[in-house]
């Protein structure tokens, strides 16, 4: 890569309220680097062109305050285009990260099961514990055994996709993170783009 060429990370958003701009600001604050271009696409309001992935170095599928897949929102027209987008990214071998709602989208795309049960609800700062299998993951093996992360969800993954393994859990949720086997694809239910301050600003 030449000195003036940037890696492009495509970020899919599923927000149409005031949290849309806040999410952009948080990603820019936490993830921006001089050689990195963050390309935001609102997958609810825009057509997501598959050709975008051709010059992307990675894909992030963001969260949502508006949609719950167990509440029938999977009937929305954007879900079909999202699934096509995910399929192409995975077939292309593109490094992909799903965050919260994105975690759920990746999970159901690969055959996981979601439930909406109040005993699993988490909103706020929670302790995350790594699973033993995290030792085999280059990214998660660099994290402490336990850490505090920001959460805000109702839908919960209770059955992992068969082609994945769990990386972390919380006290009440068994799968806070997973990775697909033999693919550079991760899902996290917690929000790495948020901290205790920015989470309260949403």
Residue 50 backbone class (left: φ over 0; alpha: ψ -120 to 50; beta: rest): alpha
* Cβ-contact 177, 140 below 8 angstroms: yes
Identify whether 137 is a catalytic site residue. no
Catalytic annotation present for 191: yes
Burial class (CB in 10 A: 0-12, 13-18, 19+), 189: buried
- Catalytic residue flag (residue 100): yes
Catalytic hit among 109, 153, 175, 191: 191
* Residue of 20, 22, 26, 100 marked catalytic: 100
Which one of 20, 23, 122, 193 is the catalytic residue? 193
Task: State how far the alpha carbon of 153 is from the alpha carbons of 29, 33, 63, in Å.
Answer: 23, 29, 9
**In this structure, what token pair is assigned to residue 201?**
């600003």
Strand order in the sheet with 164-169: 36-42, 7-13, 58-61, 96-99, 185-188, 177-180, 164-169, 122-130, 146-153
> Which residues have a catalytic role annotated?
100, 191, 193
């Amino acid at each position: 890569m030449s000195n003036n060429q940037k890696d492009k990370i495509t970020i899919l958003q599923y927000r149409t309220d005031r949290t849309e701009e806040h999410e952009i600001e948080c990603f820019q604050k936490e993830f921006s680097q001089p050689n990195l271009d963050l390309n935001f696409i609102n997958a609810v309001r825009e057509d997501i062109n598959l050709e975008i992935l051709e010059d992307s170095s990675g894909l992030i599928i963001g969260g949502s305050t508006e949609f719950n897949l167990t509440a029938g929102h999977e009937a929305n027209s954007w879900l079909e285009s999202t699934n096509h987008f995910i399929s192409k990214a995975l077939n292309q071998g593109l490094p992909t990260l799903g965050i919260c709602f994105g975690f759920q989208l990746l999970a159901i795309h690969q055959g996981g099961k979601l439930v909406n049960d109040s005993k699993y609800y988490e909103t706020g700062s929670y302790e995350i514990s790594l699973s033993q299998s995290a030792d085999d993951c280059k990214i998660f093996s660099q994290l402490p055994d336990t850490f505090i992360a920001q959460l805000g969800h109702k839908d919960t993954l209770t059955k992992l996709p068969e082609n994945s393994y769990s990386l972390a859990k919380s006290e009440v949720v068994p799968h806070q993170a997973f990775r697909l086997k033999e693919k550079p694809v991760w899902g996290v239910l917690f929000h790495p783009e948020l901290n205790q301050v920015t989470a309260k600003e949403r």
